[in-house]
Amino acid sequence: MARHPAEEDESKREAGVGVPNGSAISPKKDTCKAPEVAGAGVPNGGAISPKKDTCKAPEATAKTKLSKAERKTAKALQRSQLPQEEEGDNGDPLAVLARNYGNLSVKLFQTLPASHRSWTEVSELSPDAAGSTVLLRGWAQTIRSVGKNLVFLILRDLLATVQCILVRGEHAMITEQMMRFARELPKESFIEVEGLVSLPIKPVNHTTQQVEISVTKIYCISRSAINLPFNFDDAARSGDEMKEARHRGERLPLVMLDTRLDNRTVDLRTPANQAIFKIQSVIDSKFTEFLLAKGFMGIHTPKITPGISEGGSSVFKLNYVNGQIASLAQSPQLYKQMAINSGLKKVFEVGTIFRAEKSNTHRHLCEYIGLHVEMEIKEHYFEVCNVLGALFIELFDHLAATCGRELDIINKQFPCEPLKVCSTIFILGKFQEWCASLKSEYYLTNAVPQGDFNVEDSGFTIEQCDDLSTKAEKKFGQLVHDRYNTDFFILYEFPLEVWPFYTMPCLENPEYSNSFDAFIRGEEVVSGSQRIHCHELLLERIRKCGIDRAALQGFLDSFLYGAPPRGGFGAGLERVLMLYCGLPNIRLASLFPRDPQRLTP
């Protein structure tokens, strides 16, 4: 890596180049002078008197062993040389601002009136700002000292980074104590920097902003623990870097997923995670924006439901305050339909879903954000499929147009092929027909006679009245990708047996249903269907499914007073995000994930 010019100057200084008599700094010079410790506890904020003996205790060697008392004295001396708390400034938290460096007391943020100073975001720094003084805040990502007179500090805020430089002697305000303060800041401390924007002589390859900050003031707002749970660079390292290191025979540290999630607040600071949740926010807002523009109304449904609600076994049961048995909502499905029965016509909800599933897979969570839609239909449930298809095509186009930088950052750490999508809604066909096509593909590619199809050898299960397994979905997605050059498609008419009780049966074949799934990269991302709007048919389906009618009484009663035909669908925000970005695990798409093994942080 090319050396910074200031770094080269410091090397010359330490080698004696440019020093009078052409020699290095004399070792005979008295360096036992007391440090000026930010004026803490000293009248008028002055330095500690040099008359006081503050020479460092001798280091222990093989011939010199420190006694217990001497070790205690040495530790006390080390503590005295650390930057002091501002309470030492005669109890005045504002006193530190009179200096150019130091720790800002929490009292400062309790008492300080608005200063109306002008703040600059790190991402706003550009060559046009050269020569101006800026005030910045962010995280101290890396701190590198070159000798005693030069410190490099990378300041990070969101996805932006800038190089800050402290050079002793460059300004009268840059003192030895200020240099030591900056040098001893723990990584990931939250700091405030004031300085002059300058243009680097050589391009800065390791920061996003192509300017440098010549620091004139530096304050620590919140000091990080010295021992981080993992190295920031290790957590941010790209997949390509790992591959290149393995190719060279090197073993770079790998931060495991559980370690990341155990220390999620630190993990979320990495560029890939910052980008992931920026995209999640855009998906959320675009979903709402699209549906509002189509005349849908946003609603909020109860998350505490009576009994076991939809009748599934994967519910979180709880005792309600009146002694009744209740559960956390598996979906807003029943209340969405009740809203349609109330005449709201077209509704949607973005809300929390709870599933007590013991599924330790890469795509299941016990708590996630649901994206749900319900609407009246006039003639056919493909009206709902058309809304679904148009929504996702517009969403994908919007993400590609507005989140290119974030996608590049994610792809650097989690390499993935860009999503391929048709420009029009792609309703592929019936589930049963494409199962037959998938079997035929297996026969052809494996040269197996038609009568010798073996489920176990094929790696997936396709039965007449069963759903697609995960392996089958993947193979199916690859087949569609190869044939039609798309990673997003809709499949319809699934087996009735594996769909909820409120799903409308197919008239031509009662074993199947008026249902549909949407897929991204060969994994199911959306499920939907036409719903039963006939009270008698609902009762019949409830009996066949063996569901307790009492828990659904409020839902059933809403169909006694007129109910329009309807359909709808639901998706998980985290799964949409995971599949669109090509992330290997859904936990990476959840801010603080909840799975069968994880309840914290």
Q: Which helix (H) or strand (E) segment is 108 a member of?
A: helix 106-111
Q: Which residues make Cβ contacts (< 8 Å) with residue 176, sequence separation at least 6?
A: 35, 36, 148, 168
How far does the chain reach from its first CA to its final CA, in angstroms?
Answer: 39
Q: Burial letters for 459-489: b for 16+ Cβ neighbours within 10 Å, e otherwise?
A: ebebeeeebbeeebbbbbbebbbeeeebbbb
Residue closest to 35 by CA, chosen among 82, 76, 95, 2 = 82
Q: Which helix (H) or strand (E) segment is 217 a member of?
A: strand 212-222
In the sheet that holds 488-492, the strands lie side by side as 297-298, 346-354, 367-376, 566-572, 523-531, 515-520, 488-492, 427-430
DSSP label at residue 468: P
Q: Which residues make Cβ contacts (< 8 Å) with residue 295, sequence separation at least 6?
A: 345, 346
Q: Which residue in this structure is represented by tokens 């008026």? A: 514
CB 564 within 8 A of CB 376: yes
Residue closest to 580 by CA, chosen among 290, 286, 332 = 286
Per DSSP, the three-state class of 194 is: strand
| Residues tagged active-site | 355, 357, 363-364, 524, 527, 575
Residue closest to 530 by CA, chosen among 390, 345, 386, 383 = 383
- Residues 132 and 154: their CA atoms lie apart, in Å, by 19
Q: What are phi and psi of 194, to 5 degrees?
A: -120, 140
Q: Which residues make Cβ contacts (< 8 Å) with residue 480, sequence separation at least 6?
A: 428, 486, 489, 519, 522
CB 307 within 8 A of CB 551: yes
CB 267 within 8 A of CB 235: yes
- Residues 500 and 311: their CA atoms lie apart, in Å, by 9
Tell me the CA distances in angstroms from 123 to 159, 161, 208, 314, 401, one per residue in order.
Answer: 8, 7, 8, 45, 20
Q: Which helix (H) or strand (E) segment is 140 a member of?
A: strand 133-146
Count of Cβ atoms closer than 10 Å to residue 579 Cβ: 25
- Residues 381 and 212: their CA atoms lie apart, in Å, by 59
Handedness of CA 44, 50, 51, 57 (dihedral sign): positive
Q: Which residue in this structure is represented by tokens 């060969």? A: 522
Q: Looking at this protein, which amino acid is placed at residue 405? A: R
